[in-house]
Amino acid sequence: MAMASLWRGLTSAASSSSTEDTGGVEFWHGPERVGWLNKQGEYIKTWRRRWFVLKQGKLFWFKESVVTRASRPRGIIPVGSCLTVKGAEDVLGRDFAFELSTSNETMYFIADSEKEKEEWINSIGRSIVQQSRSVVSQDAEVVDYDDKAGSRTYADKDRKISST
């Protein structure tokens, strides 16, 4: 039951298309990435083809590829809540599969090609890092002086992100 309530919370913004409900993100123009993916359903584990839009740390999905201000997202994943994005062919036994995981659940997607899968993984991965950095930029920076490379570690409650 906890996963169901989490998912409803993650996708509650899908009830309206106003920018207030979508976290102020104007998903209908200037996205970071768009394209068709097959997404596994939350309750009934069937696959549905959806149009995905990645913009400003949110992954929106729609039934149609024509997205306007009046479009209503079928769901929204706040990428900042995601911990990993990686290939999942071995888990699902299907080509071009990848997974997106939060601390509470894992969502599965299938791209149309290996190239598309890798591009989605890279785009979502970059967005996860950007969202993590924006969260931790408000936290204290930890400098590890014992590290000979002089790298800095930015940490929040659940993640550690290193940069040199």
**Count of structural domains, the chain:** 1
Whether 101 and 84 have beta carbons less than 8 Å apart is answered as yes
Q: Is the pLDDT of residue 95 over 70?
A: yes
How far apart (Å, rounded) are the C-alpha atoms in residues 91 and 58? 25
Residues in CB range of 63: below 8 A, 6 or more apart: 50, 51, 74
Question: Among residues of the chain, what percentage have pLDDT more than 90?
Answer: 60
Backbone angles phi, psi at 64, to 5 degrees: -115, 155
In a domain, 101, yes or no: yes
The number of C-alpha atoms within 13 Å of 32 and in the hemisphere containing its C-beta is 20
Domain of 81?
A: 2-138
**161: helix, strand or coil:** strand
Q: Which residue has the tokens 């979502």?
A: 124
Examine the pLDDT at 21 and tell me if it is beyond 80.
no
Q: 84 lies in a domain?
A: yes
What is the CA angle 6-130-121, rounded to 5?
A: 70
CATH of the domain at 102: 2.30.29.30
User: Does residue 83 lie in a domain region?
Assistant: yes
What pLDDT digit, counting tens, does each position of 97-118 carry? 999 999 999 999 999 999 999 9
Residue 105 lies in a domain: yes
Portion of the chain with pLDDT greater than 70, in percent: 70
Assess if residue 156 is contained within a domain.
Answer: no
